[in-house]
Amino acid sequence: MSDSVETQPQPLISDELSDAPVPPKARKPRRRTRRTWLIVLSIIVLIVLLGGGFLYWRASRNSLPSFTQAQVTTGTLSTQVSATGPIAANAEYDLNFPASGQLASISVKIGDKVTSGETLATLNVTNTQNHTSTLTLTAPGDATVAAVRGVVGENLSSGGNATSSAFIVLTDTSKLRVTASVNETDINNVKQGQQATFTVAAYTSQIFKATVGSIETVGQSSSGVVSYAVNLDVDMTSLNSAHLYPGMTATLNIITQQKAGVLMVPNSALTYSTTAISNGLVDRSTLRGLIGNRQSGEAGSQNSSTGEKRGMVLELQNGKLTPVLITTGITNGQYTEVLSGLQDGDVVVTGQIGGNSSTTASSQGGNGLFNRGGLGGGNGGFGGGNGGFGGGNRGGTGRGGNQ
């Protein structure tokens, strides 16, 4: 008897796979989540930038400036008045024959030097009776022939030819003068005998000399500005080999004051002291004490009869701006004479580099002393009325000697 084998059907692989549970599909990240992260990141970056900018601003706001300085020197200081005017000959002669006639001869040409009494030209004159006579034209003085207006054979009238009233023009250039026009605001400083220097366009690198000879007291008005003629005698020895001709324009500097061996301080030191104090870079208690001590020992702030004025400069001591009161004299616009308060070799502050002085000023008291009119100086600061700290008398545009 054969045994029967019972077979069990086996599931196919495909059936197993088909019966396996299907996992859920993966979800795509939401766009909203990415946008949120971008916003958060942007905010963080913005906060970092703002914070860094604030720290940089605060650091630069509180940074201290560095200062420029100059040394007090001894030298020659002069004040000047500037003016312009034409160069003129010592004398000019416009010569004509006293009668009409035919030009017979001309003995000179332009540029010739003639002496007094020398024959210049002759003229044939015919009268009503047909009698001919000869007139001779001679030089009235030593001079140079500047113009000859006529030719031999030409008929001349008694007043010269048709184109000019002068037949021959002579100029005496043995001496030269300059007639300068000086503004009414400066004429009071110009005196007879003062020295002057001048240049002309033909010799820009050469400096010539002159002396004030006379001052005309009748002014000339032009466009509401009054000026006065000042006559200066040219120093002929200063010409050397240069040839100056009448009519050239001279640009002059008349020296109205000159002092040798004086202490000088740059004007920038005087102006910067006002700026630094106004901006609160100088301790106000120090200022009060300094000015109080000075005023208790002096009757007045300035001497108007001598031109002396009080001023203030700053010295850098142990990194701190320290005020120094000085007495000043003349100034040429660049340097000011120091009469007291400083010595040769002292170093003064003339300016600053960097820093923010306005921040320092506001942090030390808002409407400080100088915002209310200064320390004893009216509306303009210390000791200077409306003019601030002062820098001596106002002068021209000259320059000090030693620098």
**pLDDT over 70 at 368, yes or no:** no
What residue type is assigned to position 7 of the chain? T
For the stretch 341-367, pLDDT in tens is 999 999 999 998 876 544 333 333 333
Token pair recorded at residue 101:
């006639």
Token representation of residue 162: 């048709």
Domain range list for the chain = 66-77+261-387, 81-86+174-258, 97-166
Q: Which CATH number fits domain 97-166: 2.40.50.100, 3.30.365.10, 3.40.309.10, 3.90.1150.10?
A: 2.40.50.100
Q: Which residues contact 345 (CB under 8 A, 6 or more apart)?
A: 71, 72
Mean pLDDT of the chain: 80
Of 111-115, 146-150, 276-280, 294-298, least confident by mean pLDDT is 294-298
Distance CA 246, CA 234 (A): 12
Q: What residues contact 231, with CB distance under 8 A and at least 6 apart?
A: 177, 178, 179, 180, 212, 213, 214, 215, 216
Beta-bridge partners for 209: 197
Domain at 81-86+174-258: CATH architecture = Beta Barrel (2.40)
User: For the segment 13-58, what is each residue's pLDDT rounded down to a tens digit?
Assistant: 555 555 555 555 555 555 667 778 888 888 888 888 888 877 766 6
| Separation in Å, CA 234 to CA 176, 179, 206, 323 | 5, 11, 14, 47
Furthest-apart CA pair in the chain: how many Å?
Answer: 201
Question: Tokens for 245?
Answer: 């001709």
E strands in 249-371: 249-266, 309-317, 320-331, 335-340, 347-353
The second-level CATH assignment, the architecture, of 66-77+261-387 is Beta Barrel (2.40)
CA distance linking residue 110 with residue 102, whole number of Å: 21
56 SS3 class: helix
Residues 167, 139: Cα–Cα separation, whole Å: 13
Beta bridge partners of 324: 313
Banded pLDDT at 74 (limits 50, 70, 90): very high
pTM above 0.75, yes or no: no
| CA 240 to the chain's CA centroid | 31
Q: What is residue 371's predicted lDDT score, i.e. its pLDDT?
A: 36
* CB contact at 8 A, 337 and 263: yes
Q: In angstroms, rounded to a whole number, what is the distance separating the alpha carbons of residues 382 and 360?
A: 20
Q: 356-377: b or e for each residue (b if 16 or more CB lie within 10 Å)? A: ebeebbeeeeeebbbeeebbbb
pLDDT 10s digits, 136-150: 999 999 999 999 999
